[in-house]
Amino acid sequence: MKHERASLPTLTSTNSFWHSEPNEFLRGHRTTVELPAEADIVVVGTGITGTSATRFLTEDTRAKGKSIVVLDAREACWCATGRNGGHCQPLLFDRGSEVAQFELRNVAAVRSYIEANNVPCEWRTVSGCRTFWTERSMAEAEKEIAHLKNIAPEIADQVTIIRDKEELKKHRVNPECIGITLTAGAASLWPYKLVTFILEKLIKDGKINLQTNTPVTEITSAEGKHTLHTPRGTISSPTVILATNGYTSALLPHFADLIVPVRGEMSALHPPKNSTLIPDSYGMVGALGQPENNDDYLIQRPFSGVPNPGGHLMFGGGRGAGKLPTVGVSDDSIIDEGSAAYLRGALLDILELDGETDGIKELRPAAQWTGIMGYSRDDNPWVGKVPDNEGLWLCGGYTGHGMPNGTLCGKAVVDMVLGELEGKELGTLQKEMVQTGDVPSSYVISTERIERARGMLTVLQQDELGVHMNSLV
């Protein structure tokens, strides 16, 4: 089966609600008028991963004195992180205890930075409420949680299973739902505001050179250096970190079957008049006849204490109701009206929204948009050195689950880069990082892992057969 490369980010894109309050300092920002010809380290991408990796580089004494240039094809944080569901929710029973522990640490690290820097990004600590609408999906979740209790009881203690109908109502879930799981350690936020806060601070502190609207069209390598080609000229560096997620194969063609772009649908919906804040962040598995392998997902913005406090219901998913292809699609300039219509109407049936709901068939959208996720063939992010490419590093492929991973994955790739630059053997370093919990073993890039992944079903085959993949959370 031939795997098409992703395109570069399209010149135009649908209008994400998260961009409705743009960071004016960063709009069109180029720290220097000309693109530098060289840099010690180049980071490509300004989502949560690229921005986190950049921050950790600037905070590490091993990188002191090194010039750091950050490139983005669009405005800062204008791709997946600026288009996602606003979740930072660890999955505690889906991918094993090692990953669960890492995701909990990741959420804690994000919270710590926000609190230390008073970042105005609407961070709200909540429980993660996953709702299951088929007996099969509920039974599978219960089986995974039972396994977690055996191998990691301290993590399993943070998960509660609820089937009681009265208890479901307390979480505003329609009692026709089969059951829910509640997990601790989740949060919601305005992701764009967090990322742009970090970037603006780094620029004003003189730590980085950011070049927006500078797409990398090709990378060529020779004599220990990588040359990144852009419409504005070239920049060369011995060390390049790609934080390009769903667009990775546009620059690494041989990753086209390993990280596949998938388009997802999002919406910001006005809540019913006189309604109150929902208590949790939500995931919906198999709701209203949707495929069980495509979760819907929901958070709510505040009603007070923030700019534009509309209590917007930030609801995404609805892939099963879509009319257009999604897998292998890297164009986010198009709305899928089938998915968008589903999102406008579904919450009135899935949840017990309060306020004035009589006669309402669908909620009024403040914004509807799409974003490009990067689905990993083996359902794990890819973190580490690109094989047979000295000095070329990759961090991405989150299968729609980047916010609870991207920050510490960015740190992990930086630790690998700087550890190798100071003379450590990469394989030994990675084993140490796995042992200390700094990166899950399943995330580390290796030739063996690539071969193993290529023995699996393709991302498209997994999607068509209903193998569980996550959503734009």
* Residues 290, 253 share a domain: no
Is residue 113 in a domain? Answer: no
321 touches 341 (CB < 8 A)? yes
Mean pLDDT of 256-269: 98
* Mean pLDDT, range 408-432, rounded to an integer: 98
Same domain, 398 and 453: yes
The reply to whether 364 falls in a domain is: yes
Bridge pairing between strands 218-222 and 225-230? antiparallel
Mean pLDDT of the region 242-267: 98
Residue 106 lies in a domain: no
Decide which of 340, 373, 406 is a domain's last residue.
Answer: 373
> Can you state the angle between helices 135-151 and 97-117, rounded to 10 degrees?
90
Q: Which residues of 207-227 are buried (b: 16+ CB within 10 A; e: fewer)?
A: ebbbbbbbbbeebeeeeeebb
Return the DSSP state at 175.
T
CB atoms closer than 10 angstroms to residue 334:
13
Predicted confidence (pLDDT) per residue in 320-339, tens digit: 999 999 999 999 999 999 99
CA distance 186 to 341: 28
Indicate the residue type of 306.
Answer: V
Residue 470: per-residue pLDDT: 42
Confidence of residue 466 (pLDDT cuts 50, 70, 90): confident
What are the tens digits of pLDDT across the range 145-167? Answer: 999 999 999 999 999 999 999 99
In a domain, 111, yes or no: no
Answer yes or no: is pLDDT of 453 > 70.
yes
Q: What is the pLDDT of residue 467?
A: 76
Give the Cα separation of 120 and 99 in Å (integer): 29
**What is the Cβ-side half-sphere exposure of residue 231, based on CA atoms within 13 angstroms?**
8
pLDDT score recorded for residue 316: 98
165 and 41 in a single domain? The answer is: no
Same domain, 136 and 159: yes
Do the beta carbons of residue 56 and residue 411 sit within 8 Å? Answer: yes
Tell me the pLDDT tens digit for each residue of 58-72. 999 999 999 999 999
* Proportion of the chain above pLDDT 90, given as a percent: 96
What is the DSSP pairing of strand 68-71 with strand 209-211? parallel
> Which amino acid appears at position 88 of this protein?
C
Question: Quick check: is 284 in a domain?
Answer: yes
Range of the domain at 178: 125-185+262-373
Q: Residue 189 half-sphere exposure, CB side, CA atoms within 13 Å?
A: 24
Supply the pLDDT for residue 187: 96
What separation in angstroms does the CA of 393 have from each of 139, 207, 283, 297, 301? Answer: 40, 21, 32, 31, 36
- What tens digit of pLDDT does each residue of 284-316 get? 999 999 998 889 999 999 999 999 999 999 999
Determine, yes or no, domain membership for 118.
Answer: no
Q: Is residue 6 part of a domain?
A: no
pLDDT score of 193: 98
Residue 330: helix, strand or coil by DSSP? coil
- In order of 49, 81, 241, 395, the CA distances from 410 in angstroms are 5, 14, 9, 7
- With beta carbons less than 8 A apart as the criterion, state whether 258 and 242 touch: no
Q: What is the mean pLDDT of residues 206-221?
A: 98
The pLDDT of residue 471 is above 70: no
Q: What is the pLDDT of residues 67-89, one digit of tens each?
A: 999 999 999 999 999 999 999 99
Write down the pLDDT at residue 293: 84
Q: Which of 322, 347, 373 is the last residue of a domain?
A: 373
Burial class (CB in 10 A: 0-12, 13-18, 19+), 303: middle
The domain boundary, picked from 373, 396, 423, lies at: 373
The CA dihedral of 30, 31, 33, 35, to the nearest 10 degrees, is -80
CATH number for the domain harbouring residue 138: 3.30.9.10
**For residue 285, what are the β-bridge partners?**
132
User: Quick one: 350 and 208 in the same domain?
Assistant: no
Q: What is the total residue count of the chain? A: 473
On average, the pLDDT of the chain sits at 96
pLDDT bracket for residue 468 (50, 70, 90): low
Whether pLDDT at 2 is above 70: no
Distance CA(177)–CA(427), nearest Å, equals 47
One domain for residues 407 and 353: no
CA angle 440, 374, 180 (to 5 degrees): 70
The yes-or-no verdict on residue 271 having pLDDT over 80 is yes
Burial of 404 (0-12, 13-18, 19+ CB in 10 A): buried
Residues 333 and 296 in one domain: yes
The answer on 266 and 240 residing in a single domain is no
For residue range 389-404, list pLDDT tens digits in order.
999 999 999 999 999 9
Residues 456 and 424 occupy one common structural domain: yes
Q: Is residue 221 part of a domain?
A: yes
State the total domains in the chain. 2
- Tokens at 390, concatenated: 């000295």
Please tell me the distance from the alpha carbon of residue 226 to that of residue 212, in angstroms, as a whole number.
Answer: 20
Q: What is the per-residue pLDDT for 469? A: 47
Question: Are 369 and 310 part of one and the same domain?
Answer: yes
Mean pLDDT confidence for 202-211: 98
Give yes or no for residue 473 having a pLDDT over 70.
Answer: no
Closest CA to 243 of 378, 16, 471, 398: 398
My answer on whether 306 and 445 are in the same domain is: no
| Residue 267 shares a structural domain with residue 326 | yes
Determine the average pLDDT of the residues in 23-42. Answer: 98
